[in-house]
Structure 1
Amino acid sequence: MSDNLKTIKELADELGVSKTAINKKVTDRERKLWFSKIGNKFVINEDGQKSIKRMFEGLIENQESQTENLEQKPNSQTENFRNNNESNADIKYILDIIEYQKEQIKDLQNTKDEQFKQLSNMQNLLDQQQRLSLQDKKLLEEYKSENDRLKVLKMPSQETKEEQANIQPQEELETLKEQTRALNDKIKGQEELNNKSSKKWYQFWK
């Protein structure tokens, strides 16, 4: 074990106290600051060791005097007392570990709940973004469709253009024909007039 880290048992042996005594002294807040788990054992950092030693400075002296008194009792009673104390200490130590693990599980569950809420919020935002994107796409398609419809109404069709192109030369041709007929009629009239004049002179000279 590292010089800076000690198991609860190692520190308890060093102080001459039980593991249960240490667990009783340490609060949940201090446990989170000083304790960590390596493998299946809980270890205490250097700050925790110093603080716990200060907690037991006066208690160690009292325990030493109690130990002297116990040594004056019959050996069988002393042994039973020690066995009972060790058994109770082990049970309390196990219960403390279980309680500590429950706190860790509770903290972990709270963290998971918070992460789940964040994921749920992100999913809701993503759904909203997708709906807005679909709405924008639909509006764009409607706008393009309406724009194409207006273009069709404004622009003449190919057939209309061809009809207009055909009507203009036809009108010009009809005008030219009318002018040609009028000119021919004028020429014809002039020829008739000339013929009549020629006949008159012919009869006059005859």
Structure 2
Amino acid sequence: MSDNLKTIKELADELGVSKTAINKKVTDRERKLWFAKIGNKFVINGNGQKAIKEMFEGDTENRKTKTENLERKPKSKTENFQDDNENNADIKYILDIIEYQKEQIKDLQNTKDEQFKQLSNMQNLLDQQQHLALQDKNLLEDYKSEIKDLKALKLPLEAKKGNQLDKVEKEELERLKAQLKALELDRSKTEHLKTIEKQQKKWWQLWK
């Protein structure tokens, strides 16, 4: 038998029902669409198989629901109390989880605040360092300017000092020249006096 075609018995065995049950489900119109005769047997095409399976699956679900409803008994007060306790335990567990999550959120917020505080402190330190660096730069520029001004003043002072030294040296030289001249004059006078004394001695000896 082809994989796409099944006999009524094959489909009935697959669904766990009788051939009569399938024939009761299928209308004459559906039988013309889905059924075909091969030899002395009726076969069902793929569309028919799918539709018939859905019919019986619906019946199976309905029977199962009815059976469950019949088997379901009213709960006793004890069972209801146990269910309430279980529900309360579940609620308490959920509330505990919520509280734990709240604590985690609070810890994260505190950590975030602390990190923000540290970041602010670091920013303040950075601003202070930049301010000090700017002050150092300004002081260095001031020192350079002062050194430049001092160098500019030093040259005229040195020139002036040199001129003053030249003047002092000239005055000292003139003074020494005057002293030397005076000494020469004194020496000449002394020599002249010695010469006169010698001549006087000679004349004195001659007169003796």
Instruction: Bin the TM-score by the shorter chain.
Output: 0.3 to 0.5
Q: With CA pairs under 8 Å and 6+ residues apart, which has the higher RCO, 1 or 2?
A: 1
Max Rg structure: 2
TM-score between both structures, scaled by the size of structure 1: 0.42
